Amino acid sequence: MRARILLLLVGVLSLTACPTCARRAPRDEGGAPAPGSSVTVKGSDTLVLLGQRLAEAYMASAPGRVVQVTGGGSGTGIAALINGTTDIASASRALKDEERVQIEARRGVAPVETTVALDGIAVFVHRESPVTALSLPQLKAIYTGKLTRWSELGGPDAPIVLYGRENNSGTYAYFKERVLEEEDFAPETQTLPGTAAVVNAVTRDRNAIGYGGIAYDSGIRIVAVREDAGAEAVAPTEDAVVHGRYPISRPLFMYTAGPPRGAVKAFLDFALSPEGQALASKVGYYPLPVGAGRVDEAADANPEADTAQPPLLEQPGEADAEAELP
Amino acid sequence: MDELPPDAGRDVTRTGRITADPARLEARRVRRRRMDLLAKAVITVIAFVAIAAVALIFLFVAREALPLVFGQFRDEVTLGSMILPQAWREGAGAIFSWQPVSTVPKYSLAPLVVGTLKVTVIALVFAVPLAVGAAVFSAEFASRRTREIIKPAIEMLAGVPSVVLGFFALIVLASLLQNLFGFTYRLNGIVAGIALGLALIPVVYTVSEDALIAVPRSYREASLALGASRARTAWSVIVPAAAPGIFAAVVLGFGRAMGETMIVLMASGNAAVLSLDPTSSVRTIPATIAAEMGEVVVGGAHWSVLFLLGTLLFLVTLTFNTLGARYVARMRRKMGERS
């Protein structure tokens, strides 16, 4: 009996002994799918809702168009793009260098970034907190654990209880980059899944501070943010985010391996069209500023030709980045 | 299985006459033996598929952690940097820090291991007295009817999805305890531990109760005959006699608590602080895996570290569950001999 068990174990081991053959083989669709074929979008949970709304409107706009949108997280979507199992990876953070390298290695083309909307990150405190505005340096000191009591900010003599997002979220990554300037969060920061959970925690904790997507709840107060001590405090209104006056706003991306073509390009063009941008505002994000290398005028001029004319899309993501530089 | 009943191969005809045909008898015997062998083979295969599934899962998880063990991510993380405290800045003291998403990723396991053990211990401290107390009551004091209500009611707790327990802890329990005790951190080790304890009660209760019931009647009768009260009998005779079984229940509960994910993910605050203070926030190993797996770079250092954590967790819970199950089996055997 024992010998038989051993034999079985050896069999099982030999099944797994070949680590590379079971590895995800890159499924390359041979460049771009034909126009009209199905498009898959996978990635950021932040972008799932917008992606689905865009897909619904896009599919309704012409027969034979199929777009599948799934979440799972920015990293999951990018991993799928690396493996060639999705056409578009949606992400609420920029690609990491190693991911860029992997896409180039596995797919043979450089990833292309398309900015589809803007998102503002709000900072909120309990509704009874006397604090109404904070500067970025203050926020940094708070979240890195150097400033630990509300009394140092003109509040009551109580500890500051930190809430934040899980380190798998794009919001976490962006807040860390923009506000903490890549320093680490204080280990005491309690991390919760989703903005709703953070808002919920802050409503129940009068010493709390939290951050997340812009949300409204009677239990919290959204704090206005100043770039630095001398600057004007700006609340995260649409006007302030779109015109870049609110300091903590971020772009939301869709990545493709190589420049988008065919049906993929048609879908991205649709996302950037006035109709797509209107949907972005509808689900709680902000449209891209007018004239940031978008294709709206082109789409207006020739609405049917969206799949046929490659030069119309000038890689809006890159154009955006340039526009932000000065 | 080769022994056939004496009338096998004989057909009783409608008229009651018995016919015996040696050829038919032989054919039937062969058929039966074949069926037996086939059934045995099928059942054996099914049994081994279950074992193979566990083995394969383990191998898959461990394989993803191997590059780390072999030092493939030496620049970013080594086994040493995961275990020993590290000084991350010139002149700064060496610390244990879990900051996997950072310009300099820090993968110290100490905060997670301490956090997991802390929550587990709090859960056991909360659950074991309640569960064992309930088991003593239902095994020794409750009337038959009461017992028939209590036992299924407690075991029903095992059927409550852990996400529901987690949500209850997050919304109700956390505020209640903060108002009562004035905790600085609303979500902390005690809140998570108590919610986790609720999930452990049925595990510990069921096994403890079985152990108490299995104590031979003669023990009880002898103690009562000597003039001991029922309480005294329960405390000094029955519980000590059932101690190995109760211990097994605790060990099984420990294994369950270590691996529980959803409750701690929701109720612990998930801050990776290294502290023995039960009122500080806690980040456990399973919650870390659940929270971080979604966004890691596939095949990267962080990915590998998470799989190493999974391997660790797998080994620990497997060890404790096996130990517990063995104790239970041994106890059943012993009790069987005694009675």
- Whether A307 has a pLDDT exceeding 50, the answer reads no
Let me know whether B295 and B181 are in one domain.
yes
Of the listed ranges A249-253, A269-273, A315-319, the one predicted with least confidence: A315-319
Full DSSP string of B196-246: HHHHHHHHHHHHHHHHHHTS-HHHHHHHHHTT--HHHHIIIIIHHHHHHHH
Let me know whether B145 and B16 are in one domain.
no
B98 occurs within a structural domain: no
A191 with B291: Cβ contact below 8 A: yes
The Cα A39–Cα A54 span in angstroms is 12
CA of B84 vs chain A CAs: smallest distance (Å): 18
The Cα A203–Cα A192 span in angstroms is 14
Six-digit token string for A206: 């009068």
Six-digit token string for A38: 């199905």
- What's chain A's average pLDDT? 77
Mean pLDDT, to the nearest integer, of A52-60? Answer: 90
Looking at the complex, does the CB of residue A167 fall below 8 Å from at least one CB of chain B? yes
Chain B nearest-CA residue for A15:
B56
Q: Which uninterrupted H or E stretch holds A259?
A: none
Mean pLDDT, to the nearest integer, of A76-92? Answer: 90
Show Cβ contacts of residue B88 under 8 Å, excluding neighbours closer than 6 positions: B95, B97, B104, B106
The Cα A217–Cα A224 span in angstroms is 16
What does the pLDDT read at residue A63? 80
A88-131: pLDDT as tens digits? 999 988 888 889 999 999 999 999 999 998 888 899 999 988 99
Instruction: Spell out which residues of chain A touch residue B106, defining contact as CB-CB under 8 Å.
Output: 184
B94 occurs within a structural domain: no
Let me know whether B21 and B148 are in one domain.
no
| A132-148 b/e (C-beta count within 10 Å ≥ 16 → b) | eebbbebbbbbbbbebe
ipTM score of complex: 0.76
Best CA proximity match to A287, nearest among A239, A246, A254: A239
DSSP H helices, chain B, are 22-69, 79-83, 110-136, 144-157, 162-168, 174-181, 189-213, 217-225, 230-233, 239-259, 262-267, 285-292, 301-338
Neighbours of A192 (CB within 10 A): 27
The answer to whether the CB of A293 falls within 8 A of the CB of A319 is: yes
Looking at the complex, does the CB of residue A130 fall below 8 Å from at least one CB of chain B? no
A187 with B97: Cβ contact below 8 A: yes
Which whole-number Å values give the CA distances from A308 to A115, A141, A190, A266, A299, in the listed order?
Answer: 21, 52, 50, 9, 12
Let me know whether B168 and B27 are in one domain.
no
CA of A125 vs chain B CAs: smallest distance (Å): 15
* Four-residue CA torsion sign, A185, A188, A189, A193: positive
- Kindly report each contact of residues A179-184 with a partner whose C-beta sits within 8 Å and lies 24 or more positions away, as own/partner: A179/A136, A179/A139, A179/A140, A179/A143, A179/A248, A180/A140, A180/A143, A180/A144, A181/A140, A182/B102, A182/B103, A183/A140, A183/A144, A184/A144, A184/B97, A184/B99, A184/B102, A184/B106
Let me know whether B20 and B166 are in one domain.
no
The answer to whether the CB of B233 falls within 8 A of the CB of B224 is: yes
B224 occurs within a structural domain: yes
What does the pLDDT read at residue A319? 38
What does the pLDDT read at residue B195? 95
Quickly state the pLDDT bin for A289 (edges 50, 70, 90).
confident
The Cα A317–Cα A294 span in angstroms is 9
Quickly state the pLDDT bin for A292 (edges 50, 70, 90).
low
B91 occurs within a structural domain: no
Let me know whether B187 and B265 are in one domain.
yes
The answer to whether the CB of A252 falls within 8 A of the CB of A171 is: no
Best CA proximity match to B292, nearest among B120, B106, B100, B102: B100
| B181-204 b/e (C-beta count within 10 Å ≥ 16 → b) | eebbbbbbbbbbbbbbbbbbbbbb
Let me know whether B42 and B114 are in one domain.
no
**DSSP 3-state of B68:** helix
Neighbours of A216 (CB within 10 A): 10
B75 occurs within a structural domain: no
B331 occurs within a structural domain: yes
Let me know whether B124 and B27 are in one domain.
no
What does the pLDDT read at residue B240? 92
**DSSP 3-state of A50:** helix
Looking at the complex, does the CB of residue A25 fall below 8 Å from at least one CB of chain B? no
Six-digit token string for A26: 């890159």
Six-digit token string for B126: 């909360």
Interface mutation vs chain A, best among B58, B98, B295, most A CBs within 10 Å: B295
**DSSP 3-state of B12:** strand
Task: Report the CATH number at residue B244.
Answer: 1.10.3720.10
- Whether A22 has a pLDDT exceeding 50, the answer reads no
- Whether A217 has a pLDDT exceeding 90, the answer reads no
Quickly state the pLDDT bin for A295 (edges 50, 70, 90).
very low
Best CA proximity match to B124, nearest among B174, B199, B12: B199
Report chain B's C-alpha Rg in angstroms. 28
Show Cβ contacts of residue B39 under 8 Å, excluding neighbours closer than 6 positions: none
Name the packing angle between helices A74-83 and A97-107 (round to 10°). 20
Instruction: Spell out which residues of chain B touch residue A99, defining contact as CB-CB under 8 Å.
Output: 297
The Cα B222–Cα B237 span in angstroms is 10
Mean pLDDT, to the nearest integer, of A241-248? Answer: 86
Best CA proximity match to B219, nearest among B239, B198, B192: B239
Interface subset of B 58-77, CB within 8 angstroms of A: 59-60, 63
What does the pLDDT read at residue B164? 93
Looking at the complex, does the CB of residue B288 fall below 8 Å from at least one CB of chain A? no
- Look at phi and psi of residue A108 and say left if phi exceeds 0, alpha if psi is from -120 to 50, else beta: left
Residues in chain B: 339
pLDDT (tens place) for every residue of chain B, 339 residues total? 445 555 554 555 555 556 668 888 888 899 999 999 999 999 999 999 989 998 999 999 999 999 888 888 888 888 888 888 888 777 777 888 898 888 788 899 999 999 999 999 999 999 999 999 999 999 999 999 999 999 999 988 888 999 999 999 988 999 999 999 988 888 999 999 999 999 999 999 999 999 999 888 899 999 999 999 999 999 999 999 998 889 999 999 999 999 899 999 989 989 998 988 999 999 999 999 998 887 677 788 889 999 999 999 999 999 998 988 888 888 777 766 655
Six-digit token string for A222: 């959204």
The answer to whether the CB of A117 falls within 8 A of the CB of A285 is: yes
**What's B147-172 look like in SS3?**
HHHHHHHHHHHCCCCHHHHHHHHHHH
The Cα B236–Cα B231 span in angstroms is 8
Instruction: Spell out which residues of chain B touch residue A210, defining contact as CB-CB under 8 Å.
Output: none
B104 or A326, higher pLDDT: B104
Q: Is the pTM of this model over 0.95?
A: no
For residue B278, give the DSSP letter: T
- Whether A36 has a pLDDT exceeding 70, the answer reads no
The Cα B113–Cα B259 span in angstroms is 12
Let me know whether B192 and B326 are in one domain.
yes
CA of A40 vs chain B CAs: smallest distance (Å): 18
* Four-residue CA torsion sign, A91, A27, A20, A17: positive
The Cα A192–Cα A165 span in angstroms is 5
- Whether A195 has a pLDDT exceeding 90, the answer reads no
A127 or A289, higher pLDDT: A127
- Whether A3 has a pLDDT exceeding 80, the answer reads no
Instruction: Spell out which residues of chain A touch residue B98, defining contact as CB-CB under 8 Å.
Output: 187
Quickly state the pLDDT bin for A296 (edges 50, 70, 90).
very low
DSSP H helices, chain A, are 2-16, 48-61, 74-83, 97-107, 136-143, 170-178, 195-203, 238-242, 262-272, 274-282, 296-301, 316-324
- Whether A255 has a pLDDT exceeding 90, the answer reads yes
Chain A nearest-CA residue for B59:
A16
Looking at the complex, does the CB of residue B103 fall below 8 Å from at least one CB of chain A? yes
B86 occurs within a structural domain: no
A184 with B56: Cβ contact below 8 A: no
B59 with A190: Cβ contact below 8 A: no
- Domain range for residue B33? 12-47
Let me know whether B154 and B233 are in one domain.
yes
Instruction: Spell out which residues of chain B touch residue A198, defining contact as CB-CB under 8 Å.
Output: none
Let me know whether B141 and B219 are in one domain.
yes
Structural domain total, chain B: 2
B246 occurs within a structural domain: yes
Instruction: Spell out which residues of chain B touch residue A74, defining contact as CB-CB under 8 Å.
Output: 295
Looking at the complex, does the CB of residue A98 fall below 8 Å from at least one CB of chain B? yes
CA of A132 vs chain B CAs: smallest distance (Å): 22
Let me know whether B224 and B303 are in one domain.
yes
Show Cβ contacts of residue A106 under 8 Å, excluding neighbours closer than 6 positions: A26, A82, A83, A84
